[in-house]
Amino acid sequence: MLSALGSLDSSWKYLLASQSGIKLHQPFAELKAFPLALIGEQPANLKNLIDLVVKDALQDAGLVPPLPDCGVVIGSSRSQQGEWEKLAQQIYDPPQPPLNKGGLSIQSTRIKEGLSNWLETLPHMGAIATARQIGSTAPVLAPMAACATGIWAIAQGFELIKTGQCQRVIAGAVEAPITPLTLAGFEQMGALAKTGCYPFDRYREGLVLGEGAAVFVLESAELAQQRGASIYGEILGFGLTSDAYHISAPELGGKSAIAAVKQCLKRSHLSPSEIDYIHTHGTSTQLNDQNEANLINYLFPQGVPVSSTKGSTGHTLGASGALGVAFCLMALKHQILPPCVGLKEPEFDLDLVKVPRPGNIRKILCFSFGFGGQNAVIALGKPCPSSIAWVINQTGSMSTL
């Protein structure tokens, strides 16, 4: 994993210290400064993020390419949009540079070079790049489901194993969304925060865009046990639904989101009372936090600890669910619930985790709710050595970009 807080280990450490990777940045001269969660000083390159997290995931899992039988499910909601914006700017707003020796302008040469590589920037090429990197000839999937992409990718990896198509899958999501168009679009919607991210707070301002990536090695329990893998947790089940309601606003009443949670619990053979913690979507927007709070109070009237980590990492859009799963696995490993960084004055009657909270944590839900009414929920549990289930045996870590 990689976020504005660094590697998985450093992100977890800073999260528990209630630190945030959100700072005021102005990466584009034509736009004003915004609070953003950048990995470096400038917007990241998507392919570089993929290369680094996949390499480190394999190393941590003790795997060496080529891995021809390893499935690949790598998602992104924005994918290479940043590269397309750069190319479009060159084409539609060209300066008047001097001619080179061939009679073409330097700008024309750059456009030709960009167009010659345009196939490498198609939305699914992150998954293809991963397949090349690990030498996979197994199924390759590239889901795009807005902010639900990360959990959807892991769910698809789960299904590849459950249906017997693969015994091992590398799955996750990568996002480098800091582009002029993305910033301008969210700004026009009035969704961007002015100072920071404050999930579930009475005075929350909106979301803060962030960069991030989280990649996991999924294996059948049989294979993981056979090779003595270090197992971080079990995937117990998932739920995926769609609102079919609006391009951006969640469905009033949250009927489809509620159905996704119920679907996940049923598939996981769990009751609401067995859930020890919920990692919420918690974007710090008015509608999401209100609807999510209503959903939790409706389905978990007995109360359950909840928090959002976006106050630390920003909203990494399609990668946010994958980052959430990584933090959930760390909670299972260390038996500590992460705090809701940025929360000062709660608006909702929820058991919000304000400071790190130790506990007996065995079953966790992770929520993602994306534009277009994409609802994704996944249930995770502490690894049970004797069970034949579908397990996660890696949550990638890395120290440098």
pLDDT digits (tens, 9 = 90+) for 220-272: 999 999 999 999 999 999 999 999 888 888 888 899 999 999 999 999 999 99
Residue 129 lies in a domain: yes
Same domain, 75 and 90: no
Domain end among 67, 97, 120: 120
Task: Clarify whether 315 is annotated catalytic.
Answer: yes
Report CA torsion sign: 213, 198, 339, 255.
Answer: negative
399 part of a folded domain: no
Residues 116 and 126 both lie in one domain: no
Does 323 lie in the same domain as 174? yes
Q: For the stretch 70-81, what's the b/e string if a residue is b when 16 or more beta carbons lie within 10 angstroms of its beta carbon? A: bbbbbbbbbbbb
What is the reported pTM? 0.92
Nearest in space to 324 (alpha carbons), one of 93, 136, 149, 116: 149
Is residue 20 packed enough to be buried (19+ CB in 10 Å), middle (13-18) or exposed (0-12)? buried
248-257 — which CB contacts under 8 Å span 24+ positions?
Answer: 248/189, 248/371, 248/372, 249/287, 250/287, 250/288, 250/291, 250/369, 250/373, 251/373, 254/291, 254/294, 254/295, 254/298, 256/373, 256/375, 257/291, 257/292, 257/295, 257/369, 257/375
Residue 389, pLDDT score: 44
C-alpha distances in angstroms, 182 versus 49, 127, 215, 359, 380?
A: 19, 22, 24, 39, 32
Claim to verify: residue 237 and residue 109 sit in the same structural domain: no
Per the DSSP assignment, residues forming a β-bridge with 366 are 279, 378
56 within domain boundaries:
yes
* Domains contained in the chain, number: 2
241 forms beta bridges with 375
Q: What pLDDT does 388 receive?
A: 39
Catalytic-labelled residue, pool 70, 166, 264, 281: 281
Nearest residue to 212 via CA among 382, 65, 5, 18: 5
133 and 101 within one domain: no
Structural domain for 102, as ranges: 85-120
What residue type is assigned to position 111 of the chain?
Answer: I
E strand or H helix that includes residue 171 = strand 168-175
| Residue 397 domain-assigned (yes or no) | no
Asked whether residue 99 falls in the same domain as residue 135, the answer is: no
Q: Is residue 40 part of a domain?
A: yes
Please report whether residue 400 resides in a domain: no
149 domain residue, yes or no: yes
CA proximity to 329, closest of 174, 200, 217, 161:
217
Same domain for 24 and 148, yes or no, is yes
* Co-location of 109 and 126 in the same domain: no
C-beta separation of 192 from 294 below 8 A = no
Is 281 among the catalytic positions? yes
Q: Which of 120, 146, 172 is the last residue of a domain?
A: 120
Same-domain pairing of 62 and 108:
no
Spans in the chain with pLDDT lower than 70:
94-114, 385-401
Q: One of 70, 279, 315, 328 is an active-site residue; which one?
A: 315
Domain boundary among 72, 93, 120: 120
Q: For the domain that residue 193 is a member of, what is the CATH number?
A: 3.40.47.10
Q: Give pLDDT, residue 91.
A: 79
Q: Where are the strands (E) in 221-362, listed by range?
A: 233-242, 277-279, 305-307, 336-337, 351-352, 357-358
Residues 236, 289, single domain; the answer is yes
pLDDT tens for 134-157 read 999 999 999 999 999 999 999 999
- Regarding whether 202 and 174 lie in a shared domain, the answer is yes
